[in-house]
């Protein structure tokens, strides 16, 4: 078994602030994902990475940067937090070609 | 345009009843359809999945029915339990990218 650890669990930011969310997995999976979950809008793909140093944009990449410095970790940066923004950011991983996607517990973002 | 649609948005059943969750999709290249279960404060977790070569998949009290011609599938939860209260996401994939998720169905099971 393995686990996906997301930090921090809760993140409160100020409008215009740059905020970084971190994700670590010990499954030894090659592919990692960042999804955004808004109430009533399901899960939307922000970025994914097939291997170390690879980055692919999802449907929601504008306003975000991502970084995959090593196989086990994948970071997401909100480049400029929007006022009153509230969402849960979910990190996930799987091995390319395998079906099951494993999720972390999420980082809950609130912007004041 | 929503590629994966779910209905209803929310569903309430009594303990012991069967809950039926519906899902439809647009892209005919999708060939793998997992259902994820999410409890409050947690990430989604794979519940059950089906590939496009099958029309039914059963796992305990959870069954997926799949109609490829109509691009529809449904998740049946038989003998619903209060512990099944969660949000259920239908998803679809062609392996090329991450999964495409529906908006979810929130299920409440009352004792």
Alpha carbon of A85: minimum distance to chain B alpha carbons (Å): 18
Taking contacts as CB-CB distances below 8 angstroms, the residues of chain B near A35 are 98, 101
- What are the helix and strand counts (H, E) for chain A? 0, 11
Are A99 and B43 within 8 A, CB to CB?
no
B13: containing domain? 4-110
Give the separation between CA B47 and CA A82, rounded to whole angstroms.
34
Q: What is the pLDDT of residues B40-75, one digit of tens each?
A: 999 999 999 999 999 999 999 999 999 999 999 999
Are A101 and B46 within 8 A, CB to CB?
yes
Domain of A93, CATH number, reads: 2.60.40.10
Does the pLDDT value for residue A89 go beyond 90?
yes
How many structural domains does chain A have? Answer: 1
Closest partner CB to B89 (pick from A42, A44, A105): A42
Nearest-CA residue of chain B relative to A47? Answer: B98
How many structural domains does chain B have? Answer: 1
Does the pLDDT value for residue A1 go beyond 90?
no
DSSP conformation class of A10? E
- Whats the size of chain B, residue-wise? 111
Would residue A103 be called left, alpha or beta, if left means φ above 0 and alpha means ψ between -120 and 50 degrees?
A: beta
Q: What is the pLDDT of residues B83-109, one digit of tens each?
A: 999 999 999 987 656 688 999 999 999
Are A103 and B45 within 8 A, CB to CB?
yes
3-state secondary structure chain A: CCCEEEECCEEEECCCCCEEEEEEECCCCCEEEEEEEECCCEEEEEEEECCCCCCEECCCCCCEEEEEEECCEEEEEECCCCCCCEEEEEEEEECCCCCCCEECCCEEEEEC
Does the pLDDT value for residue B1 go beyond 70?
no
Mean pLDDT, residues A28-56: 91
A82: containing domain? 4-111
Are B43 and A103 within 8 A, CB to CB?
yes
Mean pLDDT, residues B4-9: 96
Alpha carbon of A48: minimum distance to chain B alpha carbons (Å): 8
Domain of B57, CATH number, reads: 2.60.40.10
């Amino acid at each position: 078994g393995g686990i996906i650890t997301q930090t921090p669990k809760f993140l409160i930011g100020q409008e215009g602030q740059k905020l970084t969310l971190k994700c670590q997995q010990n499954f030894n999976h090659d592919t990692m994902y960042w999804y955004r979950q808004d109430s009533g809008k399901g899960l939307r793909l922000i970025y994914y990475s097939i291997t170390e140093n690879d980055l692919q944009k999802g449907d929601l990449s504008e306003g975000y940067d991502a970084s995959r410095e090593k196989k086990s970790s994948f970071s997401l940066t909100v480049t400029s937090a929007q006022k009153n923004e509230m969402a849960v950011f979910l990190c996930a991983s799987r091995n390319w070609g395998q079906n099951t996607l494993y999720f972390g517990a999420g980082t809950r973002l609130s912007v004041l | 345009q929503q590629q994966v649609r779910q209905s209803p948005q929310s569903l309430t059943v009594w303990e012991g009843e069967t809950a039926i969750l519906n899902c439809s999709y647009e892209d005919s290249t999708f060939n793998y359809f997992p259902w994820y279960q999410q409890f409050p404060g947690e990430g989604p977790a794979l519940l059950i999945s089906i590939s496009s070569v099958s029309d039914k998949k059963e796992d305990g009290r959870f069954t997926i029915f799949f109609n490829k011609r109509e691009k529809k599938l449904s998740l049946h939860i038989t003998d619903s339990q209060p512990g099944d209260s969660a949000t259920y996401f239908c998803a679809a994939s062609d392996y090329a990218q991450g999964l495409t998720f529906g908006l979810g169905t929130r299920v409440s099971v009352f004792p």
